[in-house]
Structure 1
Amino acid sequence: MSATERVVAYIDGFNLYFGIRAKGRRHLWLDLEALVKSLLSSQQQLVAIRYFTASVRNDPPAEQRQQLYLNALSAHSSKVEIRLGRFQEKTKQCRACRSSWSEYEEKETDVSLAVSLVEDGVNGLYDTALIVSADSDMCPAVRAIKRLRPSVRVVAALPPKRRSFALQGLCDATIPIGMAKVRQSQLPEQVTAGSQSYARPSHWR
């Protein structure tokens, strides 16, 4: 291992969102780099942040807020890389009344995170992988990188109100993310980059 421990963070966007959202909307304007750095020691160097999410569909106000947030993230931190999955429309039907409706299921984000975790590990990009998620679907990827690169450490950073005993059992360490860290890791009310400016949505105040 290098003298400075290299860390790459893999953030499950929806798992983190719903953990924070359980406490309301006012802390959704989250500075991902500040949050991740608050979880690291002085001997660790943050190499990159991979942020996995999917574009909202059929809800224009929510789509606008999400895009505003993604733009602010990109403008504020050069370490954040946004990787988008998608929502797939599914038709549901009530067995009793036979009425039907459409729902949207998030696709590809979990798989994309898992592939990135293994690919980066095999390519020697990190000494420690920090998985910000409490989703047991990450377990196969953790097992794979442990087989392929036994020397690397994998740490689970669990979003507020989220737990996964299966994932915790596989990882070398677990860090619970409390709301105090979330409150302390907010983006500026207005993020400016060049001629562009992005302000926290009023819906998130």
Structure 2
Amino acid sequence: MAGIIAYIDGFNLYHGLRERYRHRYLWLDLARLVQRLRPNDEILAVRYFTAAVRNDPPAEGRQRIYLEALKAHRPEVQVVLGRYQSRQRTCHSCGATWTAYEEKETDVNIAVSLVADAAARAADIALLISADSDLCPAVRTVRELTDRMGTKMGLIAAFPPRRNSNELKALIPASFQLAQVDIRNSQLPDEVTDADGRRYRRPDKWR
């Protein structure tokens, strides 16, 4: 049995799920998903990298409920928060301006965690749930680092729906697309209760 750490790109996964299935599978039990993908491995950690939604109160509320439910039901899931950065956008046709928000730090946080775990020999296998090619330098660094150390960390990439990366495929031959059956059978209970008795219900929009 191999020890495995999962690194989940929340932004990449969320948008892939929404584009393919709309809101149906957003109430996702991340630890259960990893268990289904690697049933014969020991899960050492599940790290979920995301950022707090800004300037959209309903979406902020749904995200907060989800993260609280996830932590209550699966304490082994570690939520690592990046940030959203505001940027002014201008329409080239009409000149209108608006404020857009871009997620920052997620790929950096994943990269740092992945390389640090490789250096610490923290796991036999790293499961990367993302199709972000910006992670390729971190993957190459892990390979070079483990070669110098005389150790090995197996790398697996699981691409979210509607997401693909030829660059990651070239670096990680053990790559595949997440299957609907695994996503569908990895949902949290409709209501989750934490240790203090607080209840978190699946948002109606996510049914």
TM-score between both structures, scaled by the size of structure 2? 0.94
Q: Tell me the amino acid that sits aligned with residue 91 of structure 2.
A: C
- Please show how residues 161-176 of structure 1 align to structure 2 within 5 Å: 161-176=162-177
Residues 41-91 of structure 1 show CA distances to partners (whole Å, capped at 9, x for unaligned) of 42x110001100010000000000000000001001121000001110000
1:181 shift after superposition: 0.9
**CA offset digits 1:5-52 (Å, max 9, x no partner):** 11000000011111111111021000000001111042x110001100
Task: Identify the residue that residue 184 of structure 2 maps to in structure 1.
Answer: 183
1:85 to 82, 85, 98: 82
Aligned to 1:192: 193
Structure 2 counterpart of 1:47: 44
In structure 2, the residue matched to 1:202 is 204
Residue 144 of structure 2: aligned partner: 147
Q: Secondary structure at the match of 2:181?
A: helix
In the alignment, what sits opposite 2:9?
12
Is the partner of 2:199 in helix, strand or coil? strand
Which residue number corresponds to residue 25 of structure 1? Answer: 23
Kindly state the Cα deviation for residue 96 of structure 1 after the two structures are TM-superposed.
Answer: 3.1
Contact 1:10 1:49 in 2 (8 A): yes
Q: Contact conserved, 1:50 with 1:83, CA < 8 A, in 2? A: yes
Pair 1:118 & 2:115 matched:
yes
User: In the aligned structure 1, how far is the partner of 2:3 from the partner of 2:104?
Assistant: 30
Q: Secondary structure at the match of 2:37?
A: coil
The equivalent of 1:160 in structure 2 is: 161
1:95 CA drift (Å)? 2.5
Extract unaligned runs of 5+ from structure 2: none
Partner of 1:128: 125
- The answer as to whether partners of 1:153 and 1:172 remain within 8 angstroms in 2 is no
Aligned partner of 1:73: which letter? Answer: L
TM-score by length of 1: 0.95
Mapped contact 1:54–1:86 kept (Cα < 8 A): yes
The letter of the residue matching 2:62 is R
Distance 2:56 2:63 in 1: 11
Q: Unaligned stretches of 5+ in structure 1?
A: none
In 1: Cα distance, 2:29 partner to 2:66 partner = 10
Task: Report if aligned partners of 1:155, 1:173 keep a CA contact under 8 Å in 2.
Answer: yes
What secondary structure is seen at the aligned counterpart in 1 of 2:162? Answer: coil
Q: Is the 8 A contact 1:16 1:159 kept in 2?
A: yes
CA distance in structure 2 between the partners assigned to 1:108 and 1:139 by the alignment:
15
Q: Which stretch shifts more, 64-73 or 170-179?
A: 170-179
Kindly state the Cα deviation for residue 172 of structure 1 after the two structures are TM-superposed: 4.3
Q: Is the 8 A contact 1:12 1:52 kept in 2?
A: yes
Distance 1:200 1:95 in 2: 40
Aligned residues: 201
RMSD, aligned CA? 1.0
Query: SS of the counterpart of 1:198?
Result: strand
